[in-house]
Amino acid sequence: MTRQTVLVTGGSGFLAGHCILALLKAGYDVRTTLRSPAREAGLRATLAATGAELDGRLQVAIADLTADAGWDAAVAGCSHVLHVASPLLTAAPPDEDELIRPAREGTLRVLRAAHRAGIKRVVLTSSFAAIGYGRPLDRPYDERDWTDPAAPGLAAYPKSKTLAEKAAWDFVDGEGQGLELAVVNPVGIFGPLLGPDLSASIVLIRTMLEGKLRAVPQLMFGVVDVRDVAELHLRAMTDPAAAGERFLATAGDFMTMRAIAEALKAGLGQRADRVSTVVLPNWLVRLVARFSATARQAATPELGRKKTATGAKAIAMLGWQPRPAAEALVATGESLFRLGLVSPPRP
């Protein structure tokens, strides 16, 4: 029997790498897009180092979210598409369109190409950032909720993810009718890295393990393991009930940064000696933000705000079983040490 081929956009990314591995393991062939052919050898080496059998099963296509070229060829012959690629920057860009344009227009490029090719279903990687920003709630956020893209002070990244996801739903309700869409909205993605490219969530853990975050602001994050997010993409791709649905992916309740620091210390022992559990008062963060770009990243309307979200829908509808948040955080740390991206503290 010939295997189905699934397109995964942005194969060089943290989550996309794990999606590729999960698809190969589940018996699919995979095509993935890269922006540059120069990255193909590195991607193959990274995936092969996990023991994955790639021979004849992984193809690479070249396409950029900011241009039309390559997308029709990338989707040709595929049964499904996982559209995972989207720009994440560790620092706010001077022009928010640097994030918004590739996110929204890139999503439409992928969906249009998928529709033209008669693809059955696209799974879009959106984010909790499209659900839980700009509208404080006194209950856990769930799939009914949307970030207000016009909320004052909203950062470029949540705006980009909200506008991209909205554009995707509008597309399948309009000119893209017939194409099935399912959306996964992960909270902060942690877990084992496959290679040296660090996504924004991982940079935070590296900074903490290196002792460069001397004290933690009062911000709350959702945590989910990258392996579980990849697994949820496969369920959203194949389960008939998932078409037309959003799935919030979180391992459990949101954690304060202090709880994240404590989980790293409990799981990594001495290797997390440089992690600080000192909590910064909000007034100090706001004061320092006047002079420091780093502090400005924390001094958002989210500072000091209590929030949480629920992944109950994915658990009940798709039988998804995420591992505990602490396991995801510790696995991030373990992989940073194993890959030599953080040196252990001197005894």
Token pair, residue 38, equals: 């120069």
Among residues 25, 159, 161, 306, which one is catalytic?
A: 161
Q: End-to-end CA distance of the chain, in Å?
A: 56
**Which is it for the CA torsion 17, 108, 243, 176, positive or negative?**
negative
Instruction: Give the angle subtended at the CA of 303 by the CAs of 297 and 307, to the nearest 5°.
Output: 120
AA letter at 219? L
CA pair distance 32, 54, nearest whole angstrom? 12
Nearer to ligand NAP, 98 or 273 (CB): 98
Token pair, residue 57, equals: 């099963």
Strand pairing report for 80-83 and 5-8:
parallel
Select the residue whose beta carbon is closest to ligand NAP and give its number. 13
Nearer to ligand NAP, 288 or 341 (CB): 341
Tell me, yes or no, if 25 is annotated catalytic.
Answer: no
Residues lying near ligand NAP in the complex (CB under 6 A): 10, 12-16, 35, 64-66, 84-88, 102, 125, 127, 161, 186, 188-189, 197, 199-201
CA pair distance 67, 117, nearest whole angstrom? 18
**Which CA distances in Å does 118 have to 29, 74, 121, 177, 290?**
18, 13, 9, 11, 52
Q: Which residues are catalytic?
A: 161
